[in-house]
Amino acid sequence: MAAGDRDVRSAGGGATVLEYVNACLIDEFTISLSPMLFGTGVRLFDGVDASRVALEPIRAQPSPRATHLTYAVRKR
């Protein structure tokens, strides 16, 4: 990998994260979860290819406006 052992950051929505997870291109990701009063959200984990990857919860950090959830991506 071109980045070696350095961190690479990417921003995007649920579809972007899901593509990277299923392609095993990331080791760890953080979701910033904010409460929603109206509308719908993206069910991110419904599209995870569980035959290829497993998600391991690493940390949850609450803040006044959001909760930040960090997961490790493990190959199966």
Q: Are 60 and 68 in contact (CB under 8 A)?
A: yes
DSSP code per residue over 15-57 = HHHHHHHHTT--SEEEEEE---SSS----GGGG--TTTEEEEE
If one compares 70 and 10, the residue with the highest pLDDT of the two is 70
Q: Tell me the pTM.
A: 0.77
If one compares 4 and 31, the residue with the highest pLDDT of the two is 31
Express each pLDDT in 12-65 by its tens digit: 777 888 888 888 888 888 888 887 766 676 677 888 999 999 999 999 999 998
43: tokens are 């069910």
